[in-house]
Amino acid sequence: MTKLLAARASRGFLFALLAGLVFQGLNASVKLLVAELPPMQVALMRWITGILWIAPFALAQGFGGLRTQDLKLHGLRSLFHAGGYALWYTALGSVTLATAAALSFSGPLFVTLGAVLFLGEKVRRARWLAVFFGFVGVLVILRPGLAEIGVGTLLMLASVPLIAGSNLVAKVVAGRDTPAQVVFWQSAFAMVLFAPFGIWLWEPVSAAQLGIAVLAGLFGTVAYFFLTWSFRLLDISAVQPLMFLGIVWASLADVAFFGTTADAWTFVGAAVVVAASTMLVGRETKR
């Protein structure tokens, strides 16, 4: 890649763009599976196939290639990650991919609130304004009192801060371990955490479902590989705006695979959340 794109930032932005695109392949695969199988079984299948995809790269130099100084951080990240995606997979069967993408845009806003509540950071007025308008956008998407808020939507919203926490820890470990190591340990821990629930709820799997699970593992592995590379090359704040393109890919996937899409208010609310998050990212980058 260095020969094709000499600038470090250009490579980072390209990897972030590709990650956002491939993530929608993962979400579409999971949505197809959770329509027929228990979400926790789908999660376990996704991580089993995911670790099979990443293992050859992680073990290319033998078992020494798995050595990490941050095993505790990988474990901490997996707790956030598994918790967030347990909610995400459960919710994905009842919401459109575009709605899921729109709600995920509130991630930077939850990070800001978490910094205040748990890290004691002082937040300037501009950041509070960004948080306020971001949640206005979320309210536009949800429209409480005007539209029925389903359990799936609430579960999806609850998953966002957990996934944001996972990405923050990923940024730390991505600077110390290779992308193959990061994705391998993420997959290994997630497989262990989902195993008891997936095995308990296990149902027979058809050949078609197994094939979709293999694709889900491939999409997930490649997407996180690209995302980890972008974290190595760019600040996490610089990566975030490109992830907003996810609503474009998600809308196209909704139409292509499910013949549906989110309502107009979802896109209006997403635009408000994107504007607020972009303002937050821009000011933090300048600071």
Q: Are 90 and 242 in contact (CB under 8 A)?
A: no
Give a yes or no: residue 230 inside a domain: yes
What are the pLDDT digits (tens) for 144-157? 555 566 788 888 88
Give a yes or no: residue 175 inside a domain: yes
Give a yes or no: residue 94 inside a domain: yes
- Domain range for residue 64? 10-120+148-258
Cα→Cα distances 252→1, 93, 186, Å: 28, 17, 29
For the chain, the average pLDDT equals 78
What are the pLDDT digits (tens) for 100-136? 877 776 776 666 666 566 656 565 666 667 667 766 7
Q: Which residues pair with 147 in a beta bridge?
A: 144
| pLDDT computed for residue 219 by the predictor | 92
| pLDDT computed for residue 113 by the predictor | 65
Average pLDDT over residues 36-59: 88
Give a yes or no: residue 197 inside a domain: yes
pLDDT over 70 (residue 88): yes
Average pLDDT over residues 250-266: 76
Give a yes or no: residue 82 inside a domain: yes
Give a yes or no: residue 107 inside a domain: yes
Average pLDDT over residues 52-56: 84
Give a yes or no: residue 139 inside a domain: no
Cα→Cα distances 238→56, 73, 204, 279, 281, Å: 31, 23, 43, 12, 7
What domain count does the chain have? 1
Q: Are 220 and 26 in contact (CB under 8 A)?
A: yes
Q: What's the predicted TM-score (pTM) here?
A: 0.75
Give a yes or no: residue 242 inside a domain: yes
pLDDT over 80 (residue 87): yes
Place of tokens 């139409």: 255
